[in-house]
Copies of this chain bind each other. A is one copy, B any other.
Amino acid sequence: MMALLLKSYQSLLRGSAVPRRSMAAARETAGSSKKSLDLFYDVVSPYSWFGFEVVCRYRQIWNIDLHFRPVFLAGIMKATGNQPPATLPKKAEYLNMDILRVAKYYQVPVQLVSDFFGTVIQKGSLPAMRFITAVDASQPQYVEPISRELWMRIWSRDEDIVKPESILAAAEKAGLPLEDARKILEMSNSPEIKNRLKETTDQALKYGAFGLPSFVFHVNGKPQLIFGSDRLELLGSLLESPQEHCGEAGLLYRHGEN
């Protein structure tokens, strides 16, 4: 509905005899009918994949305008002093089971990587996340399928996602013409794209993110951070009736406002 409203709003803008009040009213209508949700994610994170697929499935039901915000998880961890949960041996052992249980529960085809340290910690995802960022800057309609194809590579088929040929293969599967994909890949090494990824990562940090996936929506102009793929039921509930859950400052439960 946002798309439809925006279209008619844009055609209003293209006309010249539009009184200010109508524009404000149109904006108000769009605002009240559709909530905006930012999803901050990195394809190196399997839990981000769960969050990504579930919000993609529910965006119609929750009536949200979903914004994909590709960020660099390693940057978030470093800035906040957070450690990957698998750093703790007992937790690492448990997480292998947990990831596969949740995969089955949400029907997302995650399989474990054979070499977690080499794949996730050492190789990481920087070239992949720069590529997604460049896609977002040039052909944003491909961000969703390309992110999914990169997750399919690393977290379903245990394949590389940092070499140019790996990224081009994912782009091809996502339907991006090869020539465009090559240009975007080149563009992904430009200072503009590097900065853009850094800026989006900084914005997640500004919202209070310390890990991924992180979701942000606004209530009375105040950003609300929800962390983790294990808060999706809560996220749905908050998106449906945010006012009901708010303290006076428009924040969802800061200390003393409950």
- Interface of chain A residues 202 through 257 with chain B (CB within 8 A): 208-210, 225, 227-228, 230-231, 233-234, 237-238, 245, 251-256
Q: A96-B255, A254-B96, A258-B111 are in contact. Are A234 and B80 (CB under 8 A)?
A: no
A102 within 8 A of B: yes
Residues of B within 8 A of A89 (CB): 80-81
Q: A111-B258, A258-B104 are in contact. Are A91 and B96 (CB under 8 A)?
A: no
Q: A227-B98, A255-B112 are in contact. Are A233 and B234 (CB under 8 A)?
A: no
Smallest CB gap from A224: residue in B: B97
Cα A65 to Cα B93 with chains together (Å): 27
Are B105 and A237 neighbours in the complex by a CB distance under 8 Å? yes
Cα A96 to Cα B91 with chains together (Å): 23
Number of copies: 2
Are B254 and A210 neighbours in the complex by a CB distance under 8 Å? no
- Interface of chain A residues 102 through 146 with chain B (CB within 8 A): 102-105, 111-112
Minimum distance in angstroms from A90 CB to a CB of chain B: 4
Are A104 and B233 neighbours in the complex by a CB distance under 8 Å? no
Smallest CB gap from A230: residue in B: B230
A88 within 8 A of B: yes
A101 within 8 A of B: yes
A100 within 8 A of B: yes
Are A254 and B97 neighbours in the complex by a CB distance under 8 Å? yes
A82 within 8 A of B: yes
Instruction: Supply 14 A–B pairs (Cβ within 8 Å), ascending by A.
Output: A82-B90, A90-B209, A90-B210, A94-B210, A94-B227, A96-B254, A96-B255, A97-B225, A97-B253, A100-B258, A101-B234, A104-B245, A105-B234, A112-B256
**Which 5 pairs show the lowest CB-CB distances between chains A and B?**
A100-B253, A230-B230, A90-B210, A80-B90, A112-B255
Q: Which A positions have Cβ atoms within 8 angstroms of B? A: 80-82, 88-91, 93-94, 96-98, 100-105, 111-112, 208-210, 225, 227-228, 230-231, 233-234, 237-238, 245, 251-256, 258
